[in-house]
């Protein structure tokens, strides 16, 4: 019996077989199976990428230096991040490295409170921003509370550190079985919650809610009018996955703070970053930012970040995600039309959500069960067909986010495996209706 404690979240693909290796977009298991890893937002370059392995070897030669030491590569990593992923735009003032998306969101939110002298924070419906400090507070989806969902019923929720308000999420789809695929225009009072708030934080994938340019501009404008800090959480969408370097690049408005994580170090190291506007950096010049952690900007992180930026730029990975993503989205829509269990398809670049019918009310669903969901059945069948997709612990939502190095033929393999899984979902949904 192992002493290791693991996540209690629904992990339907958990098998007895152990991961023993990986190469490119594939994972290898102790039972001899080789599975296409199609839902791993932390691995944009797949597994064992030669440049990433080289970067980690180089980092191992470096002394153990914390945030208090100056060393050249860390300055270079910040400069290269701004030049490459932020297109060298002059509004960017500075970069602070961290260790995870959760951590950098907490850093960004606490900084926003300090900058504005206000407490309330605004997130959009179904947001997930992490499970640390204020990032947990603004994770408003009920089943991602960071406490305990008791299987006998009821939840034990950690207490919140800030007043959290919600605004509607963007609602555009690529395809919907009923209703409109277009984004609904925000109502005149929909963004009122931003008034008097320290910050509004928005990401564009969680809960299957993707980017909408008009939504970005409306939030940006309202935050500016209200004197609130607009934080763009690009932990998932940043560094190419959305089909451009940053999802916010799809419009002209620019955030006050951007947070980065998951793919930042090319999957080879834990990494996060808080990227501040010139305005925020100007305030910091006349203040002491009382915020420190031992392993932030560790040599392993920094070498991996630099290597990842170089590979992503040389291989044109954001453009690749845009081109392949458009084609992939088309294939998923075609699949959805043939499967009655699918009610909605949405996505951007190489991150897509396929939503099945019969989902719970997300405002109250608390995951107090280990029942097998219809989404688990689809994931299991796709796995039997050699493809790993994921559910984010959601009963009717599937997400697909393959490495950005994936080839077109491998995207077809994902679609075939999903096709097989959806055939089972169709049967379950039809039986439930009958």
Applying CB under 6 A, the residues found at the interface with ligand PLP are: 100-102, 105, 128-130, 203, 206, 233, 235-236, 261-262
Nearest distance from C-beta of residue 7 to ligand PLP, angstroms: 11
Helix axes 317-338, 299-314, angle to 10 degrees: 80
Task: State the nearest-atom distance from the C-beta of 282 to ligand PLP, in Å.
Answer: 27
When the beta carbons of 112 and 335 are compared against ligand PLP, the nearer one is 112
* Choice between 236 and 305, CB closer to ligand PLP: 236
CA distances, 83 to each of 87, 251, 306, 319 (Å):
5, 19, 12, 17
Q: Buried b vs exposed e over 262-275: b needs ≥16 C-beta within 10 Å?
A: bbbbbbbbbbbbbb
Burial 218-245 (b: 16+ CB within 10 A, else e): bbbebbeebebbbbbbbbbbbbbbbbbb
Identity of the residue, 234 or 381, whose beta carbon is nearer to ligand PLP in the bound complex: 234
CB of 293 to ligand PLP, least distance (A): 14
Phi then psi dihedrals of residue 83, to 5 deg: -65, -40
Residue number, nearest CB to ligand PLP: 101
What distance in Å separates the CA atoms of residue 344 and residue 174, rounded to the nearest whole number? 8
The answer to whether residues 170 and 207 touch, using CB atoms and an 8 Å cutoff, is: no
In 10 A of CB 207, how many CB atoms? Answer: 21
| Residue nearer to ligand PLP on the CB measure, 241 or 306 | 241
Specify the residue, 127 or 223, whose C-beta has the smaller distance to ligand PLP.
127
Task: Between 131 and 342, name the residue whose CB sits nearer to ligand PLP.
Answer: 131
With tokens 């969408």, the residue in question is: 237
- Secondary structure of residue 167 in the 3-state scheme: strand
Q: C-beta of 16: minimal distance to ligand PLP in Å?
A: 26
Pick 44 or 130: Cβ nearer ligand PLP: 130
> What Rg do the C-alpha atoms of the chain give, in angstroms?
21
Q: Give the shortest CB-189-to-ligand PLP separation in angstroms.
A: 26
Helices in 272-389 by DSSP H: which ranges?
278-285, 299-314, 317-338, 374-384
Give min distance, CB of 432 to ligand PLP, in A. Answer: 30
| Least Å from the CB of residue 395 to ligand PLP | 18
Nearer to ligand PLP, 129 or 171 (CB): 129
For 181-237, the DSSP string reads: -SPPPPPTTTTGGGTT-SEEEE-SSGGG----HHHHHHHHHHHHHHTPEEEEE-TTT
Residue whose CB is less far from ligand PLP, 204 or 328 = 204
Q: Tell how strand 342-348 and strand 351-356 pair up.
A: antiparallel
Kindly list the distances between the CA atom of residue 260 and the CA atoms of 78, 103, 272, 294, in Å, as whole numbers in the listed order: 12, 10, 5, 19
The distance of closest approach from Cβ of residue 102 to ligand PLP in the complex, given in angstroms and rounded to an integer, is 3
Q: Which is nearer to ligand PLP, 175 or 399 (CB)?
A: 399
Residues in the chain: 434
Nearer to ligand PLP, 120 or 238 (CB): 238
Distance set, CA 19 to CA 4, 22, 40, 43 (Å): 16, 8, 14, 15
- The least CB distance from residue 409 to ligand PLP, in Å, is 28
Instruction: Give 263's DSSP letter.
Output: G
Side-chain-facing half-sphere of 127: CA atoms under 13 Å: 32
C-alpha triplet 339, 128, 200: angle, nearest 5°: 120
Minimum distance from CB of 237 to ligand PLP (Å)?
A: 8
> What CA–CA distances, in Å, run from 290 to 107, 287, 293, 295, 400?
11, 9, 10, 16, 39
Q: How far is the CB of 270 from ligand PLP (least distance, A)?
A: 8
């Amino acid at each position: 019996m192992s002493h290791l404690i693991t996540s209690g979240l629904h992990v339907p693909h958990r098998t007895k077989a152990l991961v023993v290796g990986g190469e490119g977009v594939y994972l290898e298991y102790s039972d001899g199976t080789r599975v296409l890893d199609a839902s791993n937002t932390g691995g944009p370059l797949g597994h064992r990428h030669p440049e990433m392995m080289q970067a980690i070897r180089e980092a191992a030669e470096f002394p153990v230096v914390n945030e208090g030491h100056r060393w050249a590569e860390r300055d270079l990593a910040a400069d290269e991040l701004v030049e490459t992923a932020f297109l060298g735009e002059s509004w960017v003032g500075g970069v602070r490295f961290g260790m995870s998306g959760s951590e950098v969101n907490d850093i960004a939110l606490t900084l926003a409170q300090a900058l504005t002298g206000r407490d309330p924070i605004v997130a959009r419906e179904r947001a997930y921003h992490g499970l640390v400090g204020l990032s947990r507070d603004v994770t408003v989806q009920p089943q991602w509370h960071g406490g305990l969902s008791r299987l006998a019923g009821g939840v034990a929720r950690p207490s919140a550190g800030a007043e959290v308000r919600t605004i509607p999420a963007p609602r555009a789809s690529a395809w919907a079985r009923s209703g409109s695929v277009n984004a609904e225009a925000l109502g005149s009072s929909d963004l009122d919650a931003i008034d008097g708030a320290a910050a509004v934080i928005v990401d564009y994938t969680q809960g299957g809610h993707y980017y909408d340019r008009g939504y970005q501009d409306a939030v940006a404008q309202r935050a500016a009018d209200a004197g609130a800090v607009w934080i763009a959480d690009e932990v998932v969408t940043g560094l190419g996955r959305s089909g451009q370097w940053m999802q916010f690049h799809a419009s002209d408005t620019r955030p006050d703070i951007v947070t980065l994580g998951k793919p930042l170090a090319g999957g080879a190291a834990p990494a996060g970053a808080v990227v501040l506007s010139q305005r925020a950096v100007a305030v910091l010049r006349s203040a002491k930012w009382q915020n420190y952690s031992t392993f932030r900007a560790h040599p392993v992180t920094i070498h991996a970040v630099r290597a990842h930026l170089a590979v992503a730029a040389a291989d044109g990975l954001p453009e690749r995600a845009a081109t392949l993503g458009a084609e992939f989205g088309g294939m998923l829509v075609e699949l959805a039309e043939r499967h009655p269990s699918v009610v909605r398809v949405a996505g951007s670049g190489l991150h897509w959500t396929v939503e099945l019918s019969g989902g719970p009310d997300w405002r109250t669903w608390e995951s107090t069960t280990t029942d097998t969901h219809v989404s688990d059945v689809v994931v299991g069948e796709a796995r039997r067909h050699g493809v790993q997709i994921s559910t984010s612990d959601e009963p009717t939502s599937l997400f697909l986010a393959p490495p950005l190095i994936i080839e077109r033929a491998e995207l077809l393999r994902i679609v075939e495996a999903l096709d097989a899984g959806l055939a089972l979902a169709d049967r379950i949904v039809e039986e439930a209706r009958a």
